[in-house]
Amino acid sequence: MAVGTAAQSELAWQPSTDVQVKAAPAVPVVAGPAPMLPPGTTPMPLATDFDVARFEAMAQMVVANQRVPGLAMAIVHKGEVLSARGYGITDVSAAEPVDAHTVFRLASLSKPFAGTVTGLLVAEGSLRWDSNVADFMPALRFSNPEAAGKLTVADVLSHRVGLGRNTYDRDIERNADYRTLVQRFADAPMTCDVGECYSYQNVAFSLVGDVVFAATGQFFSEAVAGRIFKPLGMNDASYGLEGIQASPRWARPHVRAGGGWRSLTPKPTYYRVAPAAGVNASISDMAQWLIAQSGRRPDVLPAPLLATLQQPLVSTPREMRTSSWRRERVNEAGYALGWRVYEYAGHRVVFHAGAVQGYRGLMALMPERDLGVVVLWNGESSLPTGLLPTILDSAIGLGPRQWLDVDLEEVDELLLANAAADSDAMPTRRAGTTSTAGSGGSGAAASTAKPQ
């Protein structure tokens, strides 16, 4: 699939500032199996003490005693699924175990799907990154009369619309209609000219759904399902409230109630901005998604497209201050086309987080090691967040740093107990071997994925 002719000039990471000079987006052609590595470069090996079974034991500790109701975690490396498992339960009121096919709401982990399906349309010739959004939405207006005429597809996907941060998110949370809010952009204050500053959006980001519909005649969710879910074998994935409720098994959202948890019916609010926050998926689905985003499915997502999607367009220095692991590990942060990109202790990491009532999630790719990690959970807790930097640190061999609030001695005891419980399990499972149904104790494993 040729994409090199889709636009004219190269994308560039701007200096470390919230304000940047707008660059005309393009699609640089990058050879090789792993995007964002120099041509001809092979991924570096994982550090020798990278221990998948230990990470699984940590995940078990996170859900122990319902510290978090349920959790699912996947680790992929060189196109193989090292682990894709569920832990804990789907609902404190009607407990069923979380397994590899339990569906979670992804919230803003949906944004890379929007960037990717748009990129596939660019590859098909239906769009350009510098296509003007107003060409597909002639009625679009902003308070700056010239803004709509300047806004490009790439501006929308990289949060360079010029509106204030999270414009109209509170209205979405109050059940406002998406179409009504788009009309109200004409009254919303603008903090900068289009393309000249970064400001995170959900409502404005979802303009890309209207562009996709206008360019293809397909509803946005249909375009993603046909171009991404189906060819990647993401058989549990869906869009919207109806999608998650129709799933054979799905994790209910949970909020704190007294000393425990209370499960809820998912709110439809952010499902109304589907490109920004509409995807539902299982951890088995997400393992295949990360494999594809790692460049291991060029039949679906070609390497030149991935290199473009994962190349930052605007610096986001605030991201270096939003959590303890970011403050300590992230030295540079930017936003690409639906993805965040970090310099993590000197190593490039492609990342996104998501949060909506009762659900949280994190996913990351480390192209240098051809490693992908995703963690999803169904409770409003920051506790599982520490799994991600723990795994990334281990992959590159950084010294001990306890990011996760679990007793490491208890983790070691659980690791030994898990190994003893299954005579086929190895005490230490490293990269190149795959999680089995018995090796994670209470976890439920996915089937092995073959390298692509």
Instruction: Find the length of the chain.
Output: 452
pLDDT class for 452, splitting at 50, 70, 90? Answer: very low
What integer pLDDT is reported at residue 38 of this predicted model?
62
What integer pLDDT is reported at residue 168 of this predicted model?
98
Could you give the CA distance from residue 327 to residue 324 in angstroms, rounded to a whole number? 5
User: What's the pLDDT tens digit per position in 37-56?
Assistant: 666 678 899 999 999 999 99
Could you give the CA distance from residue 149 to residue 140 in angstroms, rounded to a whole number? 9
Residue 234 clears pLDDT 60, i.e. is over it: yes
Greater confidence, 36 or 312? 312
The residues, ordered by sequence, that sit 6+ positions from 103 with a Cβ below 8 Å of its Cβ are 236, 237, 238, 244, 247, 249, 250, 251, 280, 281, 282
Partner residues linked to 77 by β-bridges: 80, 371
User: What's the pLDDT tens digit per position in 418-442?
Assistant: 888 875 544 444 444 444 333 333 4
**Residue 359 has which token pair?**
């659900």
Work out the angle between the directed axes of helices 111-124 and 207-216 (0-180°, nearest 10): 30
Residue of 179, 92, 156 lying closest to 358 (CA atoms): 92
Contact 116, 301 (CB under 8 A): yes
What integer pLDDT is reported at residue 419 of this predicted model?
86
User: What's the pLDDT tens digit per position in 360-410?
Assistant: 999 999 999 999 999 999 999 999 999 999 999 999 999 879 999 999 999
Could you give the CA distance from residue 120 to residue 93 in angstroms, rounded to a whole number? 42
Greater confidence, 220 or 433? 220
pLDDT class for 337, splitting at 50, 70, 90? Answer: very high
**Sequence-ordered strand ranges (E) for 120-272:** 238-239, 254-257, 260-263
| Region 107-113 average pLDDT | 98
